[in-house]
Each structure stands twice: as structure tokens, then as C-alpha cells.
Amino acid sequence: TVGLKTRVIGSRIVYFDTIGSTNDKGKELAANGAPEGLVIVAEEQTTGRGRLGRTWSSPKGRGIWMSVILRPEINPMDAPKLTLLTAVALARTFDSYPGIQPGIKWPNDVFIKGKKIAGVLTEMNAELERINYVVVGIGVNVNTSRAELPPEIENIATSLYIETGKSWSRKDFLTKLLEELEALYLSFKMGEYAAVVEEWKKYSVTLNKKIKVTSPGVALEGTAVDLDDDGALIVRTRDGSLKRVVAGEITFASR
Ligand code: BT5
């Protein structure tokens, strides 16, 4: 065990030396009745996934490749809130490292000085108005060196090691992250989401930027002006109208 102070998140941790994807394992275990809070951690993922079929580089022993099973009693439409909440937990954790200033790019990326250091992949199983389970996948580059980054992400990704020039305990990072995640999740369950949104805004590198949004059925350009109470991004388009985007993908438009 890692000496956790949490009661729900990480109440059970299953550990794998090597695995395809901790999210796939999470979905399998959740479908078979695994309890809320179960965490799956792997030293290495051979088919780590990002969103929309993208790959997530997960070299052995270098990062935190993990998934958490949640069973919140919320409307499936509110599931994206869990992604933002997780990004805030990650930002708080990075914030506790000397000289590290995390930024959150909507909805699921954590950046340090313009480079991606962590990502969140939230997947759910729901029927009608009821969530059966949510698997929150989290990938964090802790001790990956520059040479270990795949060439295609060499210029867009970073790690704690690359940023600080030293190695860090993955166990300490994981412990802190699970504690922050639990604190945020418990207050979320009590209906206190507004504070999460406020904190998200504090870390945001998205607000007040010119962006392009692409998501299923949406393609628009404008300025990200706010995050609403539900965690949706509010974009002001050139004609001055406000558009609400709940899920998708943004790129920063170069002026
Ligand atoms: C994400 O997707 O950022 C979600 C990543 C979630 C990974 C975790 S690890 C544990 C769990 N099990 C899984 O199989 N997945 C989750 P997305 O926003 O689609 O970003 C993917 C893009 O990030 C890729 O297309 C690359 O450009 C870049 N990328 C890939 N690996 C990276 C890494 N290790 N660090 C930084 N960027 C990376």
C-alpha cells in the first residue's frame, strides 16, 4: 500500500506490471461489479489511449498510468464535469512541486510552459438517465526524459523530470493526486461544483485566448470567454454571439 489517507478513491488498488490500457481494464472490472474508488495502476501500457482513437505514450516505469472507477449518481450529461475535476486535482498536485506552474487546457490537458505533461480520458457506461460507471483515466509524465518521448510528441510534451532536471517519486505523486481527487470528488458529490469551476478558471490557459473548436457536429472559431457552472466552455464568435461547447477539442488559433 502507499499509505493513503483517502477513504474512497484508492480504497483498493490493483497493480499491473504491463497492461494494454488501464482504462480498458477499468471498464472490464467495473462491468464485473468493481466498487467505486478502485484504482488500476500500471508500470507500462502497450496500447495506452488518448481521446478519439489517439495513442498515449506510456513508457515503463516513467509515469503514472492509472484509472479510477467512479459510480456517481449524476445525470450522464454531467459526466464531463469529472474530467474538469480531475484536471484540477492534477493541477493542485503539480502546484505542490517547486517551480512548477501548471495550466489547464480545456477540457482535459495539463500543460507546463506550453507543453503537455498530463492528460485525462473519461469514459462511461450509462443507460438512459443513469450512470452505471465512469472510468477516469489519468496519464502523467513524471520521469520521462526528452530522449524517451516518441519523436512525434518531442516538441509538444514534457515531464516533471524534463522541467526540473531531477527524478521524482511516482508514489508520492500518486498519493497526493488521489488525496486531491478524493477531496474534490467528495465535495462534488455534495453538490459543491461551483468552487471546482472557479479553481479551474484560476489554472486555465484557455480563457481569453483565440481558439478553434472541433468536436462532433461543431466547428467554430472565436475567443474562449468563460466556463459556465456546468463546465461548458463559452466561446464568443466573430459576430459577437456566444456559443456553449460541452465536449470536444480546441486548438489555439495563431493570429
Ligand atoms: C489525452 O488524450 O490526453 C488522454 C490521455 C489519457 C491517458 C491515460 S493513461 C491511463 C489511462 N489508460 C489509457 O489507455 N489512457 C488513460 P488526447 O487529448 O486525445 O491527447 C492525445 C495526444 O497527446 C496524442 O495524440 C499525442 O499528441 C499526445 N501525447 C501522447 N502521449 C503523450 C504523453 N505521454 N505526454 C504528452 N502528450 C502525449
pLDDT of 85-116, one tens digit each? 999 999 999 999 999 999 999 999 999 999 99
- What is the second-level CATH architecture of the domain 13-203? 2-Layer Sandwich (3.30)
Q: Which helix (H) or strand (E) holds 86?
A: helix 80-95
d(CA 203, CA 205): 7
* Contact partners, residue 234, CB within 8 Å, separation at least 6: 224, 225, 226, 227, 228, 242, 243, 244, 245
pLDDT (tens digit, 9 = 90+) per residue, 131-181?
A: 999 999 999 999 999 999 999 999 999 999 999 999 999 999 999 999 999
Ligand 1 binding pocket, CB closer than 6 Å: 21-23, 45, 48-52, 54, 56-58, 65-67, 108-109, 116, 119-121, 137-139, 141, 153, 157
d(CA 164, CA 7): 32
- The CATH label, of 3.30.950.10, 2.30.30.100, 2.40.30.40, 3.40.190.10, for the domain at 210-252 is 2.30.30.100
**Cβ neighbours for 191, distance < 8 A, ≥ 6 positions apart:** none
In three-state secondary structure terms, 5 is: coil
- Residue of 56, 110, 123 to test ligand 1 pocket, by largest number of atoms within 8 Å of CB: 56
Spans of all domains in the chain = 13-203, 210-252
Q: How far is the CA of 239 from the centre of ligand 1 (A)?
A: 34
Say what the ipTM of the complex is. Answer: 0.99
Q: Which helix (DSSP H) or strand (DSSP E) does residue 25 occupy?
A: helix 22-31
> What is the distance in A from the centroid of ligand 1 to the CA of 10?
22
Nearest CA residue ID for atom 9, ligand 1? 139
